[in-house]
């Protein structure tokens, strides 16, 4: 794997227009698992190559992340009112676009706790699914860490239960990457995602956010029904964890609408 660095282009947002969205994401976490590439490959479009790393045991592993957060003020930039508040969880794998060489993510889908889900689901054909998501989180400003982080999702598509212990310590290493910055670029800063639309066609959309200020966490409990259903991670498994990264909040821009590839 070639080393990567944050570039000015990555850290500079594209111009916004139309119905682009800005939102503050709270309780933001990235829980990344090591998975067998052969088990992951059937779930990914042929256009994309899997990002893999080599573990200390010499095994080749692909990377899949669960990304939960709370949208605090989801609003359209051209019409900042009204604002919506809802929980959301993205399920994604890390891939490389074979046509462009670009690092990006493949979305299995998203669970969403809002009635406005009919727009992305029915009009844009996004693989987004209704859920009831509850957060129980407490953040200590002086310690700069979550003293409590729990999330529970009721969903037919992707039920989930999560408890994280936050160290409050900035991320210092990410195993399997040439250096820390390479790992952060790949795991925390993909700005383009691809997915199978509900009509079977290949879709894509883009986002932007600044470099994340992250601390390292440890899983106390994690049950992700979707990863179990896809036969990637057994239910309740805590042994296949690559990393747990957290930040209190961050600003995101979402460039809309999604488009066909």
Task: Name the domain count of the chain.
Answer: 1
Q: Locate the DSSP E strands across 78-214.
A: 79-97, 103-112, 128-130, 132-140, 145-154, 160-170, 192-196, 202-209
Q: What is the pLDDT of residues 82-122, one digit of tens each?
A: 788 999 999 999 999 999 999 999 999 999 998 777 777 88
Looking at residue 77, what DSSP letter applies?
A: T
Looking at residue 184, what DSSP letter applies?
A: H
- Give a yes or no: residue 13 inside a domain: no
- Give a yes or no: residue 196 inside a domain: yes
Cα–Cα distance for residue pair 169/8, rounded to 1 Å: 26
- Give a yes or no: residue 66 inside a domain: yes
- Give a yes or no: residue 14 inside a domain: no
Domain containing 252 — which CATH number? 2.40.400.10
State the pLDDT at residue 119.
Answer: 77
Q: What is the pLDDT of residues 170-185, one digit of tens each?
A: 999 999 999 999 999 9
Query: How are beta strands 103-112 and 79-97 bridged, if at all?
Result: antiparallel
Three-state DSSP string of 185-241 = HHHHCCCEEEEECCCCCEEEEEEEECCCCCEEEEEEEEEEHHHHHCCCCCCCCCCCE
- Give a yes or no: residue 4 inside a domain: no
State the pLDDT at residue 120.
Answer: 79
Task: Name the nearest CA neighbour of 217 among 246, 249, 256.
Answer: 246
State the pLDDT at residue 118.
Answer: 76
Structure confidence at residue 74 as a pLDDT band (50, 70, 90)? confident
- Give a yes or no: residue 35 inside a domain: yes
> Residue 40 belongs to what H/E stretch?
helix 37-40
- Residue 20, classified by CB atoms within 10 Å of its CB into exposed (0-12), middle (13-18) or buried (19+), is buried
Torsion of CA 213, 216, 222, 228, to 10 degrees: 80
Mean pLDDT of the chain: 95
Looking at residue 117, what DSSP letter applies?
A: G
In sign, the C-alpha dihedral spanning 175, 221, 112, 107 is positive
Structure confidence at residue 24 as a pLDDT band (50, 70, 90)? very high
Residue 125, SS3 per DSSP: coil
State the pLDDT at residue 84.
Answer: 85
- Give a yes or no: residue 56 inside a domain: yes
Range of the domain at 240: 21-260
Specify the pTM: 0.96
Structure confidence at residue 145 as a pLDDT band (50, 70, 90)? very high
- Give a yes or no: residue 2 inside a domain: no
């Amino acid at each position: 794997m070639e080393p990567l660095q944050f570039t000015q282009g990555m850290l500079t947002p594209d111009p916004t227009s139309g119905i682009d969205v800005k939102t503050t994401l709270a309780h933001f976490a990235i829980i990344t698992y090591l998975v067998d590439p052969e088990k992951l490959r059937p779930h990914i479009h042929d256009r994309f190559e899997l990002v893999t790393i080599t573990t200390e045991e010499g095994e080749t592993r692909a990377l899949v992340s669960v990304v939960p957060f709370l949208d605090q003020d989801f609003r359209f930039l051209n019409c900042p009112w009204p604002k919506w508040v809802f929980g959301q969880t993205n399920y994604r794998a890390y891939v490389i676009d074979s046509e462009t060489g670009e690092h990006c993510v493949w979305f299995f889908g998203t669970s969403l706790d809002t009635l406005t889900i009919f727009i992305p689901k029915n009009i844009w054909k996004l693989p987004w699914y209704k859920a009831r998501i509850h957060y129980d989180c407490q953040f200590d400003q002086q310690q700069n860490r979550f003293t409590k982080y729990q999330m529970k999702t009721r969903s037919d598509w992707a039920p989930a239960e999560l408890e994280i212990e936050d160290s409050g310590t900035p991320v210092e290493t990410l195993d399997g990457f040439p250096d820390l910055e390479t790992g952060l670029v790949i795991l925390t800063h993909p700005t383009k995602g691809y997915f199978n639309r509900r009509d079977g066609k290949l879709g894509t959309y883009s986002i932007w956010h600044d470099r994340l200020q992250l601390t390292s966490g440890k899983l106390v409990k994690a049950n992700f029904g979707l990863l179990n259903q896809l036969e990637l991670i057994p239910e309740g498994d805590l042994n296949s964890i690559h990393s747990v990264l957290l930040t209190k909040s961050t600003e995101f821009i979402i460039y809309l609408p999604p488009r066909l590839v």
